[in-house]
C-alpha cells in the first residue's frame, strides 16, 4: 500500500509541506529569546522540524556563539534516564560544534 506521507523517519525541510508560516513564527519567537513548547501527536513532524529546520537555521544565524542541544525526553521515567538523555544531547551538540570549528580552522589555514 502506498502512503502519501513518510512515517518513522526525519523529514527534510522540502518535505514539510505548508509549514512555512509556522516555521517563521517559531523562528521569530526563538530569535526574540522567547520559550516555545512544541506539543503534538506522534508522527506529526516535531522532531524533523527541530532537527532539520530550526536548529540548522539557528546555527547559521548565531554561528559559533550558539550551542543547540536536542534531548528526547519521551522515554524518561527516572532521574537516571533524564541524566542519560541530557548527557547524550550535550555530547552530540559538542561533537557537531567541534566538527564545525575544525572545518573553520582548516579552511583558514
- What is the reported pLDDT for 82? 96
pLDDT at 80: 97
Q: Are residue 31 and residue 53 in the same domain, yes or no?
A: yes
| DSSP H helical ranges for 1-109 | 20-31, 46-49, 55-62, 79-107
Q: Does position 16 have pLDDT exceeding 70, yes or no?
A: yes
Tell whether 13 and 55 lie within a shared domain.
yes
Count of domains for the chain: 2
Give residue 81's pLDDT. 96
In a domain, 92, yes or no: yes
Is 1 part of a structural domain of the chain? no
pLDDT tens per residue across span 46-97: 888 888 888 888 878 766 677 888 888 888 999 999 999 999 999 988 888 8
Inter-CA distances, 54 with 13, 74, 82, 84, 106, Å = 10, 20, 23, 24, 27
Amino acid at each position: 500500500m502506498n502512503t502519501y506521507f513518510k512515517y518513522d523517519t526525519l523529514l527534510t525541510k522540502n518535505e514539510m509541506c505548508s509549514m512555512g508560516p509556522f516555521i517563521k513564527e517559531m523562528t521569530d519567537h526563538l530569535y526574540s529569546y522567547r520559550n516555545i513548547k512544541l506539543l503534538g501527536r506522534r508522527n506529526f513532524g516535531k522532531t524533523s522540524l527541530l532537527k532539520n529546520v530550526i536548529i540548522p537555521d539557528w546555527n547559521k544565524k548565531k554561528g559559533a556563539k550558539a550551542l543547540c542541544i536536542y534531548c528526547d525526553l519521551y522515554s524518561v521515567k527516572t532521574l537516571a534516564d533524564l541524566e542519560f538523555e541530557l548527557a547524550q544531547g550535550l555530547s552530540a551538540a559538542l561533537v557537531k560544534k567541534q566538527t564545525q570549528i575544525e572545518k573553520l580552522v582548516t579552511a583558514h589555514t
